[in-house]
Structure formats: C-alpha cells, structure tokens
C-alpha cells in the first residue's frame, strides 16, 4: 500500500506526479526544483541559492512524511551545467553533513522552468 505525501511548504507538482510517495516504509521524493512555494517561481540568484531552495523543498516533504535528512539514503542531483557541481556540493554538504547519502550527480540538457538544479531523494525509517 502506498501513501501520497503533499505539503504546501513545497511547490505544487507541475505535472501528473506526487511530491512524495511512501511505500513499505520507503519515501520516494520527486525531483525538487528551486521553486519558492509561495510564489511558484524559481528563486533569484545562482546555483547556491537554487540548490538551497531545492533542498528546502525536499526537506519540507521529508518533514511532512515524518522523515529527516538523516533518513535519506540516496539522492540524484540534476545540473544544467557541470561547472556548477562544486558550488552545489557546498550547499548540499551543509544539509547532509559527514554521513551523506549515496548520490549521483550529472548534467542534463535542460531542466524544467530553466532551473540550474533539481534534486530527488529516497529515504527510509
């Protein structure tokens, strides 16, 4: 059985998907763009600001489901350019610390809404 997770503290889905889904104690968080949930727009600034917003959105969904960043076991980070990798890492490390989850990070041709980053996660209790 699955449970759909939704919070107004993260952006509304811009397509036919859920912010998060829990199945058998595993939380799957859909890719989070750097969208301010209050305005529905990409935050201003560069990769650091956008990474911080994507992670804030991800954390809001984790919290709604009863999870924390410590429960995250896997992330995938999509970047518009690999030249943003190091700066994205700085912000990412501040959230996950020394016991970071496993991760993949790679550049894609483009991201929705012209974003510089999108981050998805899997968490377990």
Paired with 118 in beta bridges are 78
pLDDT at 98: 87
The ranges assigned to domains in the chain are: 2-124
pLDDT at 49: 98
* Class in CATH terms, 2-124: alpha beta
Q: Read out DSSP for 38-101?
A: TTTEEPSSSHHHHHHHHHHHHHHHHHHHT--GGGEEEEEEEES-GGGHHHHHHHHHHHHTTSPP
pLDDT at 14: 83
Q: What is the pLDDT of residues 16-39, one digit of tens each?
A: 999 999 999 999 999 999 999 999
pLDDT at 1: 87
- Section 54-64 average pLDDT: 98
Model confidence, pTM: 0.96
Q: What is the pLDDT of residues 68-113, one digit of tens each?
A: 999 999 999 999 999 999 999 999 999 998 889 999 999 999 999 9
pLDDT at 47: 98
């Amino acid at each position: 059985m699955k449970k759909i997770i939704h919070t107004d503290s993260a952006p509304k889905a811009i397509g036919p998907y859920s912010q998060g889904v829990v199945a058998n104690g595993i939380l799957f968080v859909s890719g989070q763009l750097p969208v301010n949930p209050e305005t529905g727009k990409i935050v201003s600034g560069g990769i650091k600001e956008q990474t911080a917003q994507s992670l804030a959105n991800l954390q809001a969904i984790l919290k709604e489901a009863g999870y924390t960043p410590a429960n995250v076991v896997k992330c995938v980070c999509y970047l518009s350019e690999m030249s943003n990798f190091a700066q994205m890492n700085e912000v990412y490390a501040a959230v996950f610390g020394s016991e970071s989850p496993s991760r993949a990070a790679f550049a894609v041709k483009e991201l929705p809404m012209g974003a510089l980053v999108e981050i998805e996660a899997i968490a377990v209790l």
